Chain A
Amino acid sequence: MVEIEAIDFNLRLYDPRVLKMKVITNVKIVDVNGNIVSLEPVSEREIEDMDDVIFDKEFSNTLLITFADLVHGEFEGVVKLYQIPENAQYIFKIYSVESNGKNVELIKICEMKKNSIVIKYYERLPELKEKDERIQEICSVAKLREEIVYKVVKN
């Protein structure tokens, strides 16, 4: 069974800039029949120094937060492990982000291939468009039906 990791964290930065950020990642899959299933982690552990590349792959380009920022600030975080069912076709990572009091949700979509997981779509905080526009783009890039995307994102 394929396993993936997701990260939740709280960060307070004072230098070089002031930032209070909280991120919770939810993982959902769309299976081959078009059903949407929310997954629960099978295990959790605290983030360690060795997680720097994992953390940066997850957040550096999307939230512009890097492991170096964690070192700079007060932070706590967990790495959650998810098992992906064999009938999964798409994995949705939905990041609920609270950044200096502003709430946004970012989406990343991966497609299950035979031997790999391919990133089909991801959103970046500094260039976030309106939700409807984003959903249209997701449908076109990931070749997903609009009602499925709406369900995943809204539910």
Chain B
Amino acid sequence: MVSQEEITEFRIDYRELAKASLEEIEKVAEKVRYKLIPKVNIDYKIYTKYTPELKDGEELITYTLSACPYCLSLLKAVIFKRDGKVWIRKKCPEHGEFEELYWGDYELYSRFRKWQYDGKGIANPHIDLIAPCPYNCGLCPRHKSHPALINLVVTNRCDLSCWYCFFFASKAGYVYEPTLNHIRYMLRQARKLRPYPAIALQITGGEPTLRDDLVDIIHIAKEEGYTHIQVNTTGIKLAFEPELARMLREAGTNVLYMSFDGVTPYTNPKNHWEIPYVLNNLRKAGLGVVLVPTLIKGYNDHELGDMIRFGLKHIDIVRGVNIQPVSLTGRMPKKERMKYRITIPDAIKEIEKQTDGKISRDDWYPVPTVAPISHFIEAITGRPQIELTTHFACGAATYIFKEDDGELIPITRFVNVKEFMKFLEEKAQEIQRGKTKYFVLFEALRKIPKFVDLSKAPKRLRKGKKIIKFLYNIFIRHSYDALGEFHYNTLFLGMMHFQDLFNHDVARVQRCDIHYVMPDGREVPFCSFNVIPEFYRDRVQRVFSYTLKEWEEMTGKKLLDLKYKRNIKKLIEGEAYRYHYEGIIDVSKIPYEDHVLASKKFGIPVIEE
């Protein structure tokens, strides 16, 4: 049996593997993979015999499996309704009871749950089934959804040192930076999954723009068949290097996925000052961006409306705002967790309030709502389609059209989403039962206009019944050429609530469609990779890494020399800064000292020369 010490001490000499061929990397990865799988009674225990009981005033929703936030052992948990909200409770025999807010609104929970569709699973899992869920990730045969987005960590180096992050190299104590050959192996490995291999890739870190060969990585991804590539970044480097934005765009990057925690220095000390310059450089390069706020109750939730208004103001380059309610890590007492905890329905209701109902709770739908579109097109074409079949509690989305006069029209106001999806699902099933496709297509042709209220549609889509033509093109002709025009002046609003160990639910893990490909060739759901880093992210990356000394010797660089120092004075004096925040906040009212303090408190030094 492998001991805990053997696992924590085990690593390969990455300087040697860096010279290896694809075949050699594959051999090493396959050999290492099973060694790194968490082991029962070493890494975790199984305490599923105990079923948590309901208390007075609580109404059962369901039971599930979860992990102890402290010892990571497998526990049974109960999900229940109390005071109009949804809660999860579990009890570890070693560490006691944990109760957590699961979803802040039971009504929305019930409405969203109606949209749950499960996927087709994985026909050729990367790993055998040897341990309970969630200790067998890889993907294993249990997984219910195919990947929609693959994350590839290309470095754990970062030019920031945010106080809450333990991931970046100098704190982790090693540099994880896979070679181009290794990256090709990982990308190829992720593309092997059937029935539907991922076509969308997110290059992430650390800070991926710190890699000098980022453009080569994008080329490799294209060669390996990824058609959508996004780069997850703070944008800091892009604020100062317009050429980098152009090179990323030309290499094939479709969109940037950029951290954006608020509109003021107080709420977004990470990149508040740089964002205007990033947007300018992206405009020049013609590269779109999705803004990604991490939402923390009492910290930046009051700026939700402003964050959306900021996105709408820069709709020429901002493609979406994808809000991520915070995942709470570490040993945090319940009182403190409740102070920061915010869930998807809480955020949805805040947005309704802060936009005066222009974007209401009824405009939001859970991610799997769109599964019938895939089912219908697959039934018609006979070709497997990408299906978004995450757990309904994981994410939500809507789509906003901005009129020339500034009026906002969520898509749900002129498309009857509920009835349209119901229709598509029924027709897909009819074809599966043997009905002739042409009859179904004819019926679709006749009925599609009934799901659209032209009088409420954006003006440009009303003209010549353009919206109906778009829908015909997509659903009858399967032509997506006009989608670019359809997207003009639209803003995608999304939410994705990644789990933590307090609200952890195995049912969500098994349906996850955002995965990480690891250097040992396994592909792991987001909420295993990041929620149990001891077993996945950190354990595996450490094995395939350089020591800090090795990396510094090899590159002739010093890790700490790469840290970003901010010249706030220069940034706030620029025209771009004023222009981008104008109408959203009054930048003249923020004293310079406040800017400096916000940056320093966050961990980013300020310089003035």
Nearest residue (CB) in B for A52 is: B132
Cα distance, A57 to B140, chains bound together (Å): 10
Cβ proximity bits A45-59 to B, threshold 8 Å, 1 near / 0 not: 000010011001100
Taking a contact as CB atoms under 8 Å apart, the answer to whether B120 and A16 are in contact is: no
Chain A proximity of B79: nearest CB distance (Å): 7
Q: How far is the CA of A71 from the CA of B178 in the complex (A)?
A: 39
Q: How far is the CA of A16 from the CA of B112 in the complex (A)?
A: 10
Partner of A60, one of B116, B141, B506: B141
- Whether A66 touches B133, Cβ cut-off 8 Å, given contacts A60-B141, A61-B121, A127-B120, is yes
Does B131 lie within 8 Å of A53, measured CB to CB?
yes
Distance between Cα atoms of A95 and B191 in the complex (Å): 31
Complex: how many Å from CA A7 to CA B158?
A: 51
The contact size tier of chain A is 20 to 34
B62 / chain A contacts, CB cutoff of 8 Å: 14-16, 72-73
B49 touches A49 (CB 8 A): yes
Given contacts A52-B132, A68-B64, contact A16 B48 (CB under 8 A): no
- Min CB gap A88→B, angstroms: 24
Q: Is B157 an interface residue (CB 8 A)?
A: no
Give chain A nearest CB distance to B118 CB in angstroms: 6
Partner of A49, one of B48, B79, B113, B510: B48
Flag whether B63 is at the interface (Cβ < 8 A).
yes
B144: CB under 8 A from chain A? yes
- Please give, as numbers and ranges, the residues of chain B lying within 8 Å of A124 by CB-CB distance: 120-121, 123
Nearest residue (CB) in B for A18 is B116
Q: How far is the CB of A132 from chain B (nearest CB, A)?
A: 15
Q: What separation, in Å, do the CA atoms of A126 and B133 have in the docked complex?
A: 21
**Residues in B neighbouring A52, C-beta threshold 8 A:** 48, 132
Taken residue by residue from 111 to 153, chain B's Cβ proximity to chain A (1 for < 8 Å, 0 otherwise) reads as 0010011111111010001111100000011101000000000
- A126 engages B79 (CB within 8 Å): no
Residues facing B in A28-64 (CB within 8 A) are: 49, 52-53, 56-57, 60-61, 64
**How far apart are the CA atoms of A56 and B117 in the complex, in Å?**
20
Asked, given contacts A61-B142, A127-B120, whether A15 binds B61 with beta carbons under 8 Å apart, the answer is yes
Provide the bound-state CA to CA distance between A72 and B507, in Å.
8
Bound form: Cα–Cα A53–B46 in Å? 12
Cβ-defined contact, B121 with A64, below 8 A? yes
| Complex contacts, B76 vs chain A, CB 8 Å | 71
Q: Are B393 and A68 in contact (CB under 8 A)?
A: no
Residues from chain A with Cβ under 8 Å of B129 in the complex: 53, 56-57, 60
Q: Which residues of A contact B64 (CB under 8 A)?
A: 68, 71-72
Q: Is A67 an interface residue (CB 8 A)?
A: yes
Distance, CA A73 to CA B507, complexed state (A): 12
Chain A residues with CB under 8 Å of B195's CB are 126-127
| B188 close to chain A: CB less than 8 A | no
- Nearest B residue to A72, CB-CB: B62
Kindly supply a per-residue 1/0 record for chain A positions 8-26, scoring 1 wherever the CB is within 8 Å of any chain B CB and 0 otherwise.
0000001111000000000
CA distance A72 to B129 in the complex (A): 20
Report how far A6 CA is from B119 CA in the complex, Å.
25
Chain A nearest CB, measured from B387 CB (Å)? 10
- B391 in contact (CB, < 8 A): yes
Whole-angstrom CA separation of A143 from B79 in the bound complex: 49
Q: Which residue of B lies closest to A66 (CB)?
A: B142
Tell yes or no: B576 within 8 A of A by CB: no
Q: Using known A-B contacts A16-B113, A49-B48, A56-B141, determine if residue A68 contacts B61 with beta carbons closer than 8 Å.
A: no
State whether the Cβ of B392 lies closer than 8 Å to any Cβ in chain A.
yes
Chain B contacts with A in 32-73, Cβ cutoff 8 A: 46, 48-49, 61-65
Q: Are B121 and A68 in contact (CB under 8 A)?
A: no
Question: Would you call A15 and B122 a contact (CB within 8 A)?
Answer: no
Q: Given contacts A15-B62, A60-B129, A61-B142, is CB(A68)–CB(B507) below 8 Å?
A: yes
Contact A61 B118, CB 8 Å, known A52-B132, A71-B63 = no
Q: Bound state CA distance, A49 and B76, in angstroms?
A: 10
| Inter-chain contact B141/A61, CB cutoff 8 Å | yes
Q: Is the CB of B118 within 8 A of A68?
A: no
**Is the beta-carbon distance between A53 and B130 smaller than 8 angstroms?**
yes
**Is B142 a contact partner of A60 (Cβ separation < 8 A)?**
yes
Distance in angstroms between the alpha carbons of A126 and B119 in the assembled complex: 8
Of chain B, the residue at the smallest CB distance from A50 is B46
Minimal Cβ-Cβ distance residue in A for B134: A68
Contact call B393/A16, Cβ cutoff below 8 A: yes
- Closest Cβ of chain A to B115, distance in Å, is 9
* Cβ contact of A71, chosen from B65, B125, B511, cutoff 8 A: B65
In the complex, chain A residues 62-86 whose Cβ is within 8 Å of any chain B Cβ: 64, 66-69, 71-73
Pick from A15, A53, A126: contact of B113, CB below 8 A. Answer: A15
Smallest CB separation, A47 vs chain B (Å): 13
Known A68-B64, A72-B62, A127-B195; contact A16-B507, beta-carbon cutoff 8 A: yes
Q: How far is the CA of A53 from the CA of B117 in the complex (A)?
A: 24
Q: Which residues does chain A contribute within 8 Å of B117, judged by CB atoms? A: 17
B120: which A residues are within 8 A, CB to CB?
Answer: 64, 124, 126-127
Contact pick for A17, options B48, B49, B61, B118, CB 8 Å? B118
B351 to chain A, nearest CB (A): 24
Alpha-carbon gap, A133 to B251, bound state (A): 44
Complex: how many Å from CA A53 to CA B130? 7
- Are B116 and A16 in contact (CB-based, < 8 A)? yes
Q: For chain B, residues 492 to 508, give those with C-beta under 8 angstroms from any C-beta of chain A.
A: 506-507
* Binary contact readout B138-174 vs A (1 if CB under 8 angstroms, 0 otherwise): 0011101000000000000000000000000000000
Chain B residues, CB < 8 A from A72: 62-64, 507
Judge whether A68 and B141 touch: CB under 8 Å: no
Q: Within 8 Å CB of A53, what residues of B?
A: 129-132
Once bound together, how far apart are the Cα atoms of A73 and B116, in whole Å? 15
B510 contacts A68, CB within 8 Å? yes
Distance A69 CA – B132 CA, assembled complex (angstroms)? 13
Q: Which residues of B contact A64 (CB under 8 A)?
A: 118-121, 144
Q: Which B residues are CB-close (under 8 A) to A126?
A: 119-121, 195
Chain A proximity of B34: nearest CB distance (Å): 15
Mask, B308-330, CB within 8 Å of A = 1, is: 00000000000000000000000
Apart from the given pairs A15-B62, A16-B391, 15 other A-B contacts in the complex at a CB distance below 8 Å: A15-B79, A16-B116, A17-B116, A17-B118, A53-B129, A53-B131, A53-B132, A57-B141, A60-B142, A64-B118, A71-B76, A72-B63, A72-B507, A124-B123, A126-B120
Question: Could you give 16 example pairs across A and B, Cβ below 8 Å?
Answer: A15-B62, A15-B79, A16-B113, A16-B391, A16-B392, A16-B393, A17-B113, A52-B48, A53-B130, A60-B121, A61-B121, A61-B123, A66-B133, A66-B142, A126-B119, A126-B120
List of 5 A-B pairs having minimum Cβ-Cβ separation, nearest first:
A61-B141, A126-B120, A15-B62, A17-B116, A60-B142
Residues of chain A touching chain B, judged by Cβ–Cβ distance below 8 Å, are 14-17, 49, 52-53, 56-57, 60-61, 64, 66-69, 71-73, 124, 126-127
